[in-house]
Copies of this chain bind each other. A is one copy, B any other.
Amino acid sequence: MAKRRKVGNLMALAVLSALVQQPMHPYQMASVLREHGKDQNMKIKWGSLYTVVQNLEKHGLIEATESVRQGGRPERTVYGITDAGRAELTDWVRELLSTPEQEQSRFTAALSVLAVLSPAEAADLLAQRLDALDKRFAGRQAALAEAARDVPRLFLVEEEYELAVAEAEIGFVRGLLGELTSGTFPGLADWQTFSETGVVPPELAELMERGLHPQ
């Protein structure tokens, strides 16, 4: 599934959703997005913003409505969403919502090459991560609670989701770290000797040959 969108960048989604409210010029989009806390999850890349706006216009999803100049400032082109744009927006949301897609996280990548470090160092680094995760989580949770006082849930669900996932990551890291520090992680001794001497334990060597995930 996941048909190719004319404009695939997720920033395009944000732009379309901003323009549904009212027409605006690119820089204003950025401000609005920032106000709505979208920049928390998605850093605003200036290059992308203007490229995306161009592409959206090229594909008729938005259109330049007017071009204002105030003072000696560079001219600002105001864009509005078209019917095609509105259609694309809802269709896109429908797809994103209904069909999960496995995305590659950097932490997953790190875990998949965990064996290049020694167990002790891995534990140390995981402890650092856990610390950072805990702090960040507390902050975000507080901010969410604060916002929930006057913003309806509907506009906070994405943050709730992120926090749910963050909590799961914290749990996982805490668990793994616990196993490493308590020494209950299975195969810890083999990993230890391998990292010290570079010697691959015999039962592992055989696995290397035939591949880890045989069908």
Chain A interface (Cβ within 8 Å of chain B)?
10, 13-14, 17, 20-21, 32, 35-38, 40-42, 89-90, 93-94, 96-117, 121-122, 125-126, 128-129, 132-133, 136, 147, 150-155, 157-158, 160-162, 164-165, 167-169, 171-172, 176, 185-187, 190-191, 204, 207-208, 211-214
Report how far A212 CA is from B117 CA in the complex, Å.
Answer: 44
Do the beta carbons of A111 and B164 come within 8 Å of each other? Answer: no
Report how far A153 CA is from B175 CA in the complex, Å.
Answer: 13
A176: which B residues are within 8 A, CB to CB? 157
A161: which B residues are within 8 A, CB to CB? 107-108, 111, 169, 172
A172: which B residues are within 8 A, CB to CB? 160-161, 164-165
Work out how many copies of this chain go into the complex: 2
Do the beta carbons of A96 and B107 come within 8 Å of each other? Answer: yes
Most buried by B among A98, A151, A207, A208: A98
A187: which B residues are within 8 A, CB to CB? 152-154
Q: In the complex, which residue of chain B has the Cβ closest to the Cβ of A101?
A: B106
**Chain B: minimal CB distance from A84 (Å):** 15
A167: which B residues are within 8 A, CB to CB? 168
Report how far A147 CA is from B69 CA in the complex, Å.
Answer: 64
Known: A132-B100, A161-B111. A211 touches B94 (CB 8 A): no
List 3 A-B pairs, minimum CB-CB distance, nearest first. Answer: A168-B168, A96-B110, A35-B211
